[in-house]
C-alpha cells in the first residue's frame, strides 16, 4: 500500500517526508521534482518567504542510480529561514487559522507551537512526494494538470486543452486566460494595498485514467471521497467538487447524467458531467476536480482577536504571508491528487516492481477488450 508521512515546522530545520510502497524500478527524475517545488513557490501574490527559500528535494533513501529499489523513499527539503528558536511567542490567535483551536487541543499557551506545523509550508513536502507519484502514473500514460479557474470572483474562460496549455506556459498566475489574468493581477495589487487577502478556485484534471480504480463497496474506498479528502487536507481549502459538482444540485437528472453510447472504439460517453467517477469508481473519462480556497487568514491589517496572555482585546498576530497563494494551491492540489490516485492505482494493479505492475495492467486492459 502506498502511504506517506511528513514532518517539520515552518521555520525549523526543514521538512522530512517518507513515501512507502513504491515499486522497484521507477526512474526518479529529480529535475521534475524540483520543477514542481519551484512551481509551488511561484505565482503572483506570494509573500517575502518565497524570496528566501529555493526549495530542492534531497533524496536520502530508497533510490540507487536514479531507480527506486522498493524500500521507503526518504526526502529532505531544507529551510533557509531556520529561525524557530529566535521567534517571539504568539499569544494573539488569528481568526481563520488553527492558532486558537490547536492551542486548546494541545494545551499550548505559545501558539507558535501550533502555527509552525499548521502552516502551509508543510505542503512543500507533499508536492515533492506528489511529483514522485506523478512519475509513477506517467509510466502508464496518466497525466495531471491544474490551473486557476477563478480568483477573487473573477472567472476564467473555458479554453481548448491545447490553447490552455500554451497560455499556462506563459502565465504569471497559473491562469490559462490572459484577459482574466490581467484583471486578477490588478485585483491582487489593490488587495495588497488594502492589507487584505484573496482566495479562489483551482481545477485539477487527470487524463488517461483506466476504468476500475476505487470501489463502491465501502465509503472509504470510493475514489471520489478519497480524492476530495486529499484536496480538503490542503490548508485553506474549504470545498471540493467533482464533475459538475454543486451545479448538479440545481439541474434535473436528464441534464446531469452522462449518456452511455457506442462508438467504433467501444462504449463511450459524449459528455463528462460526472467528472470521470461514477459510484466511487473511475469510468475511463477524464477526472475533473475543483477546490475552493479561502483567503489566507494572516492579514497585514489584522482582524480583532483576544490576547490569551492578558485576556484583553487585541489585533491578531501578524506573520510574513501572501496576499494570494492560489497558484501554489493549484500545484499542491495536483500533487495531493497524484498521491491518492497512485495509491488507488497500486491497489488495483500493484506489484513489487514496475515490470510486475506493467504485466498486471496489460492483462487488465486485454481482458477489457474481450
Cα angle 68, 32, 332; round to 5 = 100
pLDDT above 70 (res 218): yes
Q: Which three cell numbers stand for residue 259?
A: 449518456
Round to whole Å and give the CA distance between 133 and 335: 8
Helix 223-232 and helix 326-349, axial crossing angle in degrees, nearest 10: 150
Residue range 6-20: mean pLDDT, rounded: 96
Half-sphere exposure of residue 166: CA atoms within 13 angstroms, side-chain side:
5
DSSP string covering 242-295, please? ETTGGGGGGS-GGGTSPPPEEETTEEE-S--TTTTEETTEE-SSPEEEEEEEPP
Q: Which three cell numbers stand for residue 197?
A: 487577502
Contact 307, 92 (CB under 8 A): yes
Residue range 264-279: mean pLDDT, rounded: 90
Confidence of residue 370 (pLDDT cuts 50, 70, 90): low
Round to whole Å and give the CA distance between 59 and 166: 32
Q: Which three cell numbers stand for residue 272?
A: 463528462
Residue range 336-353: mean pLDDT, rounded: 97
Q: Please, what is the average pLDDT of the chain?
A: 94
Residue range 287-312: mean pLDDT, rounded: 94
Confidence of residue 345 (pLDDT cuts 50, 70, 90): very high
- Burial-class residue 128 by CB neighbours within 10 Å (0-12, 13-18, 19+): buried
pTM of the model: 0.95
Contact 302, 317 (CB under 8 A): yes
Cross-strand bridge partners of residue 214: 281
* Percent composition of the chain: helix, strand, coil (DSSP 3-state, to 5): 35, 20, 40
Round to whole Å and give the CA distance between 214 and 279: 9
Q: What is the pLDDT of residues 153-207, one digit of tens each?
A: 999 999 998 999 999 988 999 999 999 999 999 999 999 999 999 999 999 999 9
Q: In this predicted structure, what is the pLDDT of residue 319?
A: 75
Q: What is the pLDDT of residues 223-255, one digit of tens each?
A: 999 999 999 999 999 999 999 999 999 999 999
Widest CA span in the chain: 73
Nearest in space to 46 (alpha carbons), one of 331, 261, 267: 331
Q: What are phi and psi of 131, to 5 degrees?
A: -65, -40
| Beta-strand relationship, 58-61 and 73-78 | antiparallel
Round to whole Å and give the CA distance between 96 and 297: 5
Confidence of residue 303 (pLDDT cuts 50, 70, 90): very high
Q: In this predicted structure, what is the pLDDT of residue 369?
A: 75
Share of the chain above pLDDT 70, in %: 98
- Least confident range from 52-61, 143-152, 253-262: namely 52-61
pLDDT above 90 (res 9): yes
CA distances in angstroms from 275 to 13, 179, 288, listed in the order given:
40, 27, 5
**Domain edges within the chain:** 3-369
Round to whole Å and give the CA distance between 195 and 153: 18
Task: Find out if CATH 3.40.50.1100 is the number for domain 3-369.
Answer: no
Cross-strand bridge partners of residue 282: 277
- Torsion sign (Cα): 6, 7, 11, 13: negative
Round to whole Å and give the CA distance between 97 and 94: 6
Amino acid at each position: 500500500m502506498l502511504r506517506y508521512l511528513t514532518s517539520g515546522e515552518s521555520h525549523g530545520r526543514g521538512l522530512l517526508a517518507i513515501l512507502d510502497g513504491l515499486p522497484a524500478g521507477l526512474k526518479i527524475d529529480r529535475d521534475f521534482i524540483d520543477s514542481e517545488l519551484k512551481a509551488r513557490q511561484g505565482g503572483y501574490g506570494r509573500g517575502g518567504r518565497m524570496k528566501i527559500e529555493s526549495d530542492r528535494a534531497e533524496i536520502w533513501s530508497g533510490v540507487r542510480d536514479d531507480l527506486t529499489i522498493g524500500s521507503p523513499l526518504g526526502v529532505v527539503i531544507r529551510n533557509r529561514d531556520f529561525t524557530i528558536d529566535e521567534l517571539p511567542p504568539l499569544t494573539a490567535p488569528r481568526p481563520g487559522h488553527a492558532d486558537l483551536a490547536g492551542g486548546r487541543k494541545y494545551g499550548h499557551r505559545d501558539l507558535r507551537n501550533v502555527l509552525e506545523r499548521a502552516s502551509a509550508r508543510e505542503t512543500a513536502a507533499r508536492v515533492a512526494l506528489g511529483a514522485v507519484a506523478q512519475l509513477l502514473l506517467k509510466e502508464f500514460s496518466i497525466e495531471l494538470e491544474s490551473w486557476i479557474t477563478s480568483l477573487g470572483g473573477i472567472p476564467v474562460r473555458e479554453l481548448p486543452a491545447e490553447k490552455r496549455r500554451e497560455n499556462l506556459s506563459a502565465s504569471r498566475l497559473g491562469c490559462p486566460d490572459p484577459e482574466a489574468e490581467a484583471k486578477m493581477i490588478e485585483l491582487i495589487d489593490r488587495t495588497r494595498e488594502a492589507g487584505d487577502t484573496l482566495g479562489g478556485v483551482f481545477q485539477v484534471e487527470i487524463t488517461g485514467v483506466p476504468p476500475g480504480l476505487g470501489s463502491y463497496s465501502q465509503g472509504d474506498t470510493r475514489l471520489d471521497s478519497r480524492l476530495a479528502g486529499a484536496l480538503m487536507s490542503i490548508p485553506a481549502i474549504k470545498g471540493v467538487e467533482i464533475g459538475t459538482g454543486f451545479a448538479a444540485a440545481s439541474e434535473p437528472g436528464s441534464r446531469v447524467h452522462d449518456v452511455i453510447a457506442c462508438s467504433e472504439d467501444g462504449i463511450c460517453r459524449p459528455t463528462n458531467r460526472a467528472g470521470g467517477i461514477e459510484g466511487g469508481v473511475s469510468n475511463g473519462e477524464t477526472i475533473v476536480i475543483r477546490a475552493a480556497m479561502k483567503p489566507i487568514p494572516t492579514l497585514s491589517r489584522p482582524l480583532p482577536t483576544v490576547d490569551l496572555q492578558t485576556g484583553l482585546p487585541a489585533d491578531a498576530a501578524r506573520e510574513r504571508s501572501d496576499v494570494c497563494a492560489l497558484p501554489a494551491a493549484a500545484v499542491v492540489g495536483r500533487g495531493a491528487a497524484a498521491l491518492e490516485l497512485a495509491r488507488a492505482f497500486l491497489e488495483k494493479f500493484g506489484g513489487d516492481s514496475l515490470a510486475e505492475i506493467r504485466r498486471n495492467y496489460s492483462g487488465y486492459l486485454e481482458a477489457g477488450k474481450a
